[in-house]
Structure 1
Amino acid sequence: MLKQKNLIFVGAPGAGKGTFSALLLERHPMAHISTGDILRDEVKRDTELGREAAKLMKEGKLVPDEVIAGMVRERLAQPDCDNGFILDGFPRTIRQAELLEEALSSLGRKLDRVVYFKVDDDVILKRLTARLNCRKCGKIYNKLFMPPKVENVCDDCGSELFQRPDDSLETAKSRLEVFYRQTSPLIDYYRKQGLMLEITETDKDKICAVLAAELE
């Protein structure tokens, strides 16, 4: 079992957070928590927070940090998080990090490690613009780094693969700029707390070895 099992994965879009979350989950029973998934679930279940978020989104407004943090707290309180969790995509800002600390404290939990996947911009842009999604199961592939066995066909369910419109080069550059603007201060914030594990390797096996050595 992991000794350090309450984790945040930080990195630019395309840095590999989802890929390495999946690899870690194959070996350890942990909860993978994505704010996008939480938001969709809260709206679908018509909870109070979900209704508030849906109303704001319908009006074209951003969902406040406090609302997102409330959803994350509710998710962290669920039993599957007792074995540890990976927060993917939250927090994105120092304010969100502060709200997360409050939520964890109220639940009697603590953060063990923040893993920063630091990948060169040119690699990120290649990954984002070569990404493919399965229409049925949602599995993500990459034409350069993780292609399907059969071109444009999902290995798992056999459905058609497609490229999202927001995976264009222009959009990828914009997403990268937003990441650096919002999240760079967050990296320094956690580094000062002694929680940061920075991974600069690009080889998948080496990354897995580093994660195993540092978290166990």
Structure 2
Amino acid sequence: MDIIIIGAQGSGKGTQAGYLAEYLKVHHLSSGDMFRKAFENHTALGIKAREYIDRGELVPDNVTVDMVLEHIARPEYRAGVLLDGFPRTIAQSQALDKGLEALDRSVTFAIYLNVPREELVHRLAGRYICRAHQHVYNSETNPPHVPGICDLDGSELYQRSDDKGEAIQKRLDTFFSETIHLLDFYQQQGKLIEVNGNQGIELVREDMRKAIERFRH
């Protein structure tokens, strides 16, 4: 079972992805974590990706896709994977389909967390992330037990520079002008599951479970 979770920044995608992977008994593969580990371990693809980033350029699709497929082909991912943060474009989706086909696999379904833009802006303004493992909190909807400290690892919480002001709008512009087209792509394949992400964490999880069971049957 190979699954994609789609959602704009602030949709709760990162929060729900870990739960969803556990529920479906598949590995959670975050593109952000994947890049960080590749840089830390100085892998061949990580070094290549870093060269583009250091020049202020976007990492080409073929490098990103190769990195994702390299992970998916590993024995520990044989039972399935939940992709979080990838694909972001139609071209990446098409390349992913082709790469999975070579592994005799395919995307089972793509789940979209639908949250209105104004709510996303509100959420991002209150979002904080822990320095150690990138656990996500929100000052209103999901605050830590101790202000400024991660419940899970005790590290400091901080606010990303791109979760402020105009940077928020720019990131959302990218999602709603580019990534949003993935919905049509997977809808045409009969693989799209849409969930109302504009509600509490537990209600979103319940709706995801119900939608997935309907899809399976």
Within 2, Cα distance between the matches of 1:51 and 1:164?
24
What code does the residue aligned with 1:205 have?
E
Q: Which stretch has the larger CA shift, 198-207 or 148-157?
A: 198-207
Residue 187 (str. 1) matches residue 191 (str. 2): no
Q: 3-state SS of the aligned residue for 2:91?
A: helix
* Residue equivalent to 1:165: 161
After TM superposition, the score normalised by the length of structure 1 is 0.91
Q: Which of 141, 147, 151 lines up with 2:147 in the alignment?
A: 151
Residue 203 (str. 1) matches residue 187 (str. 2): no
Within 2, Cα distance between the matches of 1:28 and 1:192?
24
Within 2, Cα distance between the matches of 1:186 and 1:26?
24
Q: 3-state SS of the aligned residue for 1:206?
A: helix
**Identity score, percent:** 37
Residue 67 (str. 1) matches residue 63 (str. 2): yes
Q: Which of 74, 77, 87 lines up with 1:78 in the alignment?
A: 74
* Residue equivalent to 2:106: 110
Q: 3-state SS of the aligned residue for 2:148?
A: coil
Change (3 A) 1:83 1:119: same
Q: Deviations over 1:32-88 (max 9, x none)?
A: 112222222223333322222122222222111011000111011112222221111
Within 2, Cα distance between the matches of 1:186 and 1:25?
21
Residue 120 (str. 1) matches residue 116 (str. 2): yes
Q: Which stretch has the larger CA shift, 94-103 or 43-52?
A: 43-52
Q: Deviations over 1:97-150 (max 9, x none)?
A: 110001100111111110011101111111111011223343211001100112
* Residue equivalent to 1:213: 210
Q: Which runs of 5+ in 1 are unaligned?
A: none
Change (3 A) 1:63 1:134: same
RMSD, matched Cα:
1.6
Change (3 A) 1:135 1:41: closer
4+ runs of 1 displaced by more than 4 Å? none
Q: Deviations over 1:163-198 (max 9, x none)?
A: 222211321111111101111222111111111001
- Aligned pairs for 1:90-109 (under 5 A) are 90-109=86-105
Q: 3-state SS of the aligned residue for 1:63?
A: coil
After TM superposition, the score normalised by the length of structure 2 is 0.90
What code does the residue aligned with 1:120 have?
P
Within 1, Cα distance between the matches of 2:16 and 2:126?
18
Give the conservation status (yes or no) of the 8 Å contact 1:30–1:80: no
Residue 50 (str. 1) matches residue 46 (str. 2): yes
